[in-house]
Protein backbone atom coordinates (compact mmCIF):
# COMPACT_ATOMS: atom_id res chain seq x y z
CA UNK A 1 0.00 0.00 0.00
CA UNK A 2 1.35 3.42 -0.93
CA UNK A 3 1.71 6.04 1.79
CA UNK A 4 -0.93 8.25 0.16
CA UNK A 5 -3.41 5.41 0.05
CA UNK A 6 -2.55 4.43 3.62
CA UNK A 7 -3.22 7.95 4.88
CA UNK A 8 -6.39 8.21 2.81
CA UNK A 9 -7.65 5.18 4.77
CA UNK A 10 -6.43 6.03 8.24
CA UNK A 11 -7.59 9.64 8.04
CA UNK A 12 -10.99 8.38 6.95
CA UNK A 13 -11.16 11.01 4.21
CA UNK A 14 -14.18 10.80 1.99
CA UNK A 15 -14.98 12.20 -1.44
CA UNK A 16 -14.10 14.77 -2.73
CA UNK A 17 -11.09 14.93 -0.38
CA UNK A 18 -8.01 12.87 -1.13
CA UNK A 19 -4.42 12.74 0.04
CA UNK A 20 -2.16 14.41 -2.52
CA UNK A 21 1.13 14.04 -0.74
CA UNK A 22 2.67 12.63 2.45
CA UNK A 23 6.01 13.94 3.68
CA UNK A 24 8.06 12.81 6.62
CA UNK A 25 9.84 15.69 8.33
CA UNK A 26 12.47 13.97 10.49
CA UNK A 27 13.87 17.18 11.91
CA UNK A 28 10.55 18.27 13.38
CA UNK A 29 9.31 14.69 13.93
CA UNK A 30 6.24 15.41 11.83
CA UNK A 31 4.26 13.73 9.11
CA UNK A 32 2.81 16.34 6.81
CA UNK A 33 -0.24 15.23 4.86
CA UNK A 34 -1.39 17.37 1.97
CA UNK A 35 -5.13 17.04 1.34
CA UNK A 36 -6.78 18.16 -1.89
CA UNK A 37 -9.91 17.83 -4.02
CA UNK A 38 -10.28 17.36 -7.80
CA UNK A 39 -10.73 20.35 -10.07
CA UNK A 40 -14.34 21.20 -10.82
CA UNK A 41 -15.61 19.95 -7.44
CA UNK A 42 -18.71 21.80 -6.25
CA UNK A 43 -19.18 22.75 -2.62
CA UNK A 44 -22.02 23.93 -0.41
CA UNK A 45 -22.42 27.41 1.04
CA UNK A 46 -21.80 26.92 4.80
CA UNK A 47 -24.84 29.09 5.59
CA UNK A 48 -27.59 27.86 3.26
CA UNK A 49 -26.08 24.63 1.88
CA UNK A 50 -26.62 25.78 -1.72
CA UNK A 51 -24.52 23.73 -4.12
CA UNK A 52 -22.06 26.07 -5.86
CA UNK A 53 -18.92 25.95 -8.00
CA UNK A 54 -15.58 26.55 -6.30
CA UNK A 55 -14.86 30.30 -6.43
CA UNK A 56 -11.27 30.26 -5.17
CA UNK A 57 -9.19 28.96 -2.24
CA UNK A 58 -8.06 30.55 0.99
CA UNK A 59 -4.46 30.50 2.21
CA UNK A 60 -3.08 27.09 3.10
CA UNK A 61 -4.17 26.05 6.59
CA UNK A 62 -2.98 23.30 8.87
CA UNK A 63 -4.65 21.10 11.46
CA UNK A 64 -2.98 18.88 14.03
CA UNK A 65 -4.35 15.36 13.78
CA UNK A 66 -3.80 12.26 15.92
CA UNK A 67 -0.13 11.25 15.99
CA UNK A 68 1.24 8.55 13.69
CA UNK A 69 3.45 6.51 16.01
CA UNK A 70 5.71 9.11 17.66
CA UNK A 71 5.25 11.67 14.89
CA UNK A 72 2.96 14.64 15.10
CA UNK A 73 0.64 14.40 12.13
CA UNK A 74 -0.40 17.61 10.43
CA UNK A 75 -3.02 17.98 7.71
CA UNK A 76 -2.50 20.75 5.17
CA UNK A 77 -5.13 22.08 2.77
CA UNK A 78 -6.32 25.20 1.08
CA UNK A 79 -9.98 25.53 1.96
CA UNK A 80 -12.22 26.23 -1.05
CA UNK A 81 -14.49 29.26 -1.04
CA UNK A 82 -17.84 29.65 -2.78
CA UNK A 83 -19.54 32.83 -3.93
CA UNK A 84 -23.09 32.44 -2.67
CA UNK A 85 -25.68 34.79 -4.21
CA UNK A 86 -27.17 35.25 -0.72
CA UNK A 87 -24.17 35.09 1.61
CA UNK A 88 -21.24 36.26 -0.51
CA UNK A 89 -17.80 34.67 -0.58
CA UNK A 90 -17.50 32.07 2.18
CA UNK A 91 -15.06 29.33 3.11
CA UNK A 92 -16.70 25.94 2.90
CA UNK A 93 -16.84 23.51 5.82
CA UNK A 94 -14.22 20.77 5.85
CA UNK A 95 -15.32 17.38 7.18
CA UNK A 96 -12.30 16.88 9.48
CA UNK A 97 -12.46 20.05 11.59
CA UNK A 98 -14.72 22.75 12.93
CA UNK A 99 -14.36 26.22 11.42
CA UNK A 100 -11.37 28.20 12.79
CA UNK A 101 -9.94 25.24 14.69
CA UNK A 102 -6.25 24.34 14.41
CA UNK A 103 -7.03 20.71 15.30
CA UNK A 104 -9.02 17.96 13.68
CA UNK A 105 -12.20 16.80 15.40
CA UNK A 106 -10.56 13.48 16.24
CA UNK A 107 -7.60 15.20 17.88
CA UNK A 108 -9.88 17.48 19.91
CA UNK A 109 -11.90 14.51 21.09
CA UNK A 110 -8.76 12.61 22.05
CA UNK A 111 -7.38 15.67 23.88
CA UNK A 112 -10.56 15.95 25.96
CA UNK A 113 -10.33 12.26 26.81
CA UNK A 114 -6.71 12.70 27.94
CA UNK A 115 -7.73 15.76 30.01
CA UNK A 116 -10.39 13.66 31.70
CA UNK A 117 -7.89 10.95 32.59
CA UNK A 118 -4.99 13.04 33.85
CA UNK A 119 -4.57 14.62 37.27
CA UNK A 120 -3.42 17.94 35.97
CA UNK A 121 -3.80 19.97 32.79
CA UNK A 122 0.02 20.06 32.71
CA UNK A 123 0.06 16.26 32.64
CA UNK A 124 -2.32 16.23 29.68
CA UNK A 125 -0.27 18.91 27.93
CA UNK A 126 2.86 16.76 28.24
CA UNK A 127 1.15 13.67 26.85
CA UNK A 128 -0.45 15.63 24.03
CA UNK A 129 2.65 17.77 23.37
CA UNK A 130 0.53 20.90 23.46
CA UNK A 131 1.22 24.38 24.76
CA UNK A 132 -1.11 25.99 27.29
CA UNK A 133 -2.83 28.28 24.71
CA UNK A 134 -3.62 25.38 22.43
CA UNK A 135 -4.93 23.29 25.32
CA UNK A 136 -7.12 26.13 26.50
CA UNK A 137 -8.39 26.60 22.93
CA UNK A 138 -9.43 22.92 22.85
CA UNK A 139 -11.18 23.18 26.23
CA UNK A 140 -13.05 26.31 25.13
CA UNK A 141 -14.18 24.62 21.94
CA UNK A 142 -15.41 21.61 23.94
CA UNK A 143 -17.35 23.99 26.18
CA UNK A 144 -18.88 25.62 23.10
CA UNK A 145 -19.86 22.18 21.76
CA UNK A 146 -21.40 21.29 25.11
CA UNK A 147 -23.43 24.50 25.14
CA UNK A 148 -24.53 24.10 21.51
CA UNK A 149 -25.77 20.62 22.34
CA UNK A 150 -27.78 21.73 25.35
CA UNK A 151 -31.05 19.87 25.44
CA UNK A 152 -33.85 19.81 27.99
CA UNK A 153 -32.73 16.30 28.99
CA UNK A 154 -30.48 15.92 32.02
CA UNK A 155 -26.89 14.97 31.23
CA UNK A 156 -26.53 11.21 31.23
CA UNK A 157 -23.14 10.97 32.91
CA UNK A 158 -21.29 13.88 34.37
CA UNK A 159 -17.71 14.10 35.56
CA UNK A 160 -16.46 16.92 37.72
CA UNK A 161 -12.78 17.40 37.95
CA UNK A 162 -10.37 19.88 39.40
CA UNK A 163 -7.31 20.45 37.31
CA UNK A 164 -4.18 22.06 38.59
CA UNK A 165 -2.19 24.20 36.23
CA UNK A 166 0.74 26.58 36.51
CA UNK A 167 2.59 24.22 38.86
CA UNK A 168 -0.37 23.58 41.11
CA UNK A 169 -0.96 27.21 42.04
CA UNK A 170 -4.29 27.53 40.29
CA UNK A 171 -7.14 25.17 39.75
CA UNK A 172 -9.78 24.96 37.12
CA UNK A 173 -12.95 22.94 37.61
CA UNK A 174 -14.18 21.12 34.55
CA UNK A 175 -17.58 19.52 34.23
CA UNK A 176 -17.76 16.89 31.55
CA UNK A 177 -20.44 15.10 29.68
CA UNK A 178 -18.65 11.76 29.63
CA UNK A 179 -20.78 10.28 26.87
CA UNK A 180 -20.14 12.99 24.34
CA UNK A 181 -16.62 14.07 25.29
CA UNK A 182 -17.77 17.63 25.74
CA UNK A 183 -16.90 19.98 28.54
CA UNK A 184 -20.06 21.45 30.00
CA UNK A 185 -18.53 24.20 32.07
CA UNK A 186 -15.26 25.44 33.51
CA UNK A 187 -14.72 27.79 36.36
Q: Under the rule (CB under 5 A), what is the footprint of Zn ion?
A: 45, 47-48, 84, 86-87
Nearer to Zn ion, 51 or 133 (CB): 51
| Ordered alpha helix ranges (H), the chain | 3-11, 105-117, 121-128, 132-148
Tell me the closest approach of the beta carbon of residue 44 to Zn ion, in angstroms. 8
Query: Closer CB to Zn ion, residue 88 or residue 159?
Result: 88
Closest residue by Cα to residue 81 from 54, 44, 46: 54
Residue among 78, 61, 68, 93 nearest 7 (CA): 68
Shortest Cβ contact with Zn ion: which residue?
Answer: 45
- Toward Zn ion, which CB reaches closer, 24 or 48? 48
Backbone phi, then psi, for 68, in 5-degree steps? Answer: -105, 110
Q: Which is nearer to Zn ion, 50 or 118 (CB)?
A: 50
Give the residue from 53, 58, 60, 57 showing the smallest Cα distance to 34: 60
| Rounded least distance, CB 81 to Zn ion, Å | 12
The least distance separating Zn ion from the CB of residue 17, rounded to whole angstroms, comes to 21
| Cβ distance to Zn ion smaller for residue 89 or 178 | 89
Is the backbone peptide bond immediately before 104 cis, with ω within 30 degrees of 0? no
DSSP state at residue 155: P
DSSP letter string, 106-147: HHHHHHHHHHHHSSBHHHHHHHHT--HHHHHHHHHHHHHHHH
- Minimal distance in Å, beta carbon 149 to Zn ion? 24
- Minimum distance of Zn ion from residue 55's CB (angstroms): 12
Amino acid sequence: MQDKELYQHILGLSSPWTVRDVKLDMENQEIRVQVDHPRGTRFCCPECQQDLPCYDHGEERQWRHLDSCQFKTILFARVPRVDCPKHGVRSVSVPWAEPHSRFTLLFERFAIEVLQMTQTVKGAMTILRLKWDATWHIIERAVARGKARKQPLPLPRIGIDEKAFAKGQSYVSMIYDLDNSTVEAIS
